[in-house]
Amino acid sequence: MKNSYFCRHYTFLITLMILIFGINNVMADETSASPYMAKITGQEDFIYVWTLGVEGLGDGQDKMVTVDVNPKSSNFGKVINSESVGGRNEARQSGLTDDRKYLWAGGLDSNKIFIFDVYTDPAKATLVKTIDDFVSKSGGVVGPHTIYALPGRMLITGLSNHKDHGGRTALVEYTNEGRYIGTYWMPTDDNLQGALKSGKYADGYGYDIRALPRRDVMFTSSFTGWSNYMTDFGEMLANPEAMKRFGNTMVVWDLHTRKPKQVLDVPGAPLAISCAWGARNNYCFTTTALTSQIVLLEETIEGDWKATNVADIGNPADIPLPVDISISSDDSLLWVNTFLDGKTRGFDITDPHHPTQIYEKKVGYQVNSVSSSWDGKRLYYTSSLLAKWDNKARHNEQFLRLYHWNGKELAEQFNIDFYAEKLGRANQMQLGAYQLYGNY
């Protein structure tokens, strides 16, 4: 299932974390997933799409949709299961546990977390538990977003809080079984919690999370609160006060203690984070939604961290709105999706300080998530960002599309119209495979 290099390092990391933490145990694709998860290095069998329901379309509910993606299957490119969860929760992000037996998915509006069994029958993601007390258990965190696997644990980033529905928020930790462990609030100017403030900002906002175990650190980025993400996109853009309520920071955390170490200035709402895989490549990338920059987050000689803008994405003046990224497993290529122009761009990052765009393709009128296979040959794309931010009328297409990458061109393999299938808005994805489990 894994090549020998990754096997050795995966085993070493798990052993090291057990020794350090005394415990047993994001994002969308294999190459941006937690390093604690077993990776699908061959052909995946399924893709699980977390989908936002639309009133009057099918049952109108959010659902986890299973699609067969093995080209040897007679059902290749077809929906083979759909599991509704009840109501519309602003379905946004999902994440697998470190053993990949359970898939957690969150609702940004209802604050519910839905846990699906993808182990008993990988061809059918089955809802087995709903966490409906996230806000009260966490002490007021709203908007569960990135759901990220640690050994035996799930870390969840919030986007907001229950007091003012603004952007100040926290990390929340659970066991794999769904038992609440703790809440870790983002550092702010009035409570830095021991963190070093490296620039002008300490806004307390949150969005994505990634860990770099070999450096005993994790990183969080920042977005905006409930009052913005649940507002019509056009109305928000026209409101000067609303446009001030976006994050401008990334936080460097101690992975062991869950305590913040540094607050870095990254103006313009840094969103998705992808970290390098090479054993000596101690850096990560993010992109800024409002300023359309690729940002390099790297360790300095002194042992702290710095963030540097290293490339433009399209024409920043047009605000193409970068939303999702995916790094290749050999750290050579970074895929960047921009929501407003519906494009995906490939950047050569062999020199991480000077990314160079080598490819560009319009995927649709809008595009949100990108999920890459470990070998980099297959890229999956979905369309929906947020219910009130998606395009309107005929430009509001909702899809799952698979492309093959041959190093020069993306060639479409299938396209599923989620509106035609009455499934709703296709948002975020996770990959599944029989090969992960010994009972198949």
User: Are 208 and 253 within 8 A, CB to CB?
Assistant: no
DSSP string of 22-59?
------SSGGGS-TTSPP--S---EEEEEEE--TTSTT
pLDDT recorded at residue 440:
66
d(CA 114, CA 49): 13
Is 37 within the bounds of a domain?
no
Is 163 within the bounds of a domain?
yes
User: Are 262 and 195 within 8 A, CB to CB?
Assistant: yes
Nearest-5° Cα angle at 112, 110 to 114: 140
What are the tokens at 204? Answer: 């307390």
CATH of the domain at 199: 2.130.10.10
Is 90 within the bounds of a domain?
no
pLDDT recorded at residue 317:
96
d(CA 181, CA 167): 22
Residues listed for the chain: 440
| DSSP label of 434 | G
Say how many domains are in the chain.
1
Is 118 within the bounds of a domain?
no
Is 431 within the bounds of a domain?
yes
* Amino acid making up residue 43: Q
d(CA 197, CA 296): 18
* Amino acid making up residue 90: E
Cα-based torsion angle of the residue sequence 55, 113, 385, 331 in order, rounded to the nearest 10 degrees: -150
DSSP string of 179-191?
-EEEEEEPPBTTB
d(CA 183, CA 181): 7
* Amino acid making up residue 288: T
pLDDT recorded at residue 227:
98
- Domain holding 373, by residue range, is 54-60+153-436
User: Are 243 and 251 within 8 A, CB to CB?
Assistant: no
User: 8 CB contacts (<8 Å, ≥6 apart)?
Assistant: none
Q: Match 């020199």 to its residue by tokens.
A: 351
User: Are 230 and 90 within 8 A, CB to CB?
Assistant: yes
Cα-based torsion angle of the residue sequence 189, 264, 274, 88 in order, rounded to the nearest 10 degrees: 20
Tell which residue, 273, 173, 254, has the closest CA to residue 213. 254
Q: Along the 440 residues of the chain, how does pLDDT read in single tens digits?
A: 334 433 444 333 333 333 333 333 334 589 999 999 989 999 999 999 999 999 999 999 999 999 999 999 999 999 999 999 999 999 999 999 999 999 999 999 999 999 999 999 999 999 999 999 999 999 999 999 999 999 999 999 999 999 999 999 999 999 999 999 999 999 999 999 999 999 999 999 999 999 999 999 999 999 999 999 999 999 999 999 999 999 999 999 999 999 999 999 999 999 999 999 999 999 999 999 999 999 999 999 999 999 999 999 999 999 999 999 999 999 999 999 999 999 999 999 999 999 999 999 999 999 999 999 999 999 999 999 999 999 998 799 999 999 999 999 999 999 999 999 999 999 999 999 998 876 66
* Strands (DSSP E) found in 133-256: 141-150, 153-161, 170-175, 180-185, 196-197, 209-212, 217-220, 249-254
Is 70 within the bounds of a domain?
no
Is 80 within the bounds of a domain?
no
Q: What is the pTM of this model?
A: 0.92
Count of C-beta atoms within a 10 Å radius of residue 369? 26
Three-state DSSP at 124 gives coil
User: Are 89 and 127 within 8 A, CB to CB?
Assistant: no
What is the C-alpha radius of gyration for the chain, rounded to an integer number of angstroms? 20
Count of C-beta atoms within a 10 Å radius of residue 407? 10
What are the tokens at 56? Answer: 């009057």
Tell which residue, 401, 355, 362, 398, has the closest CA to residue 378. 401
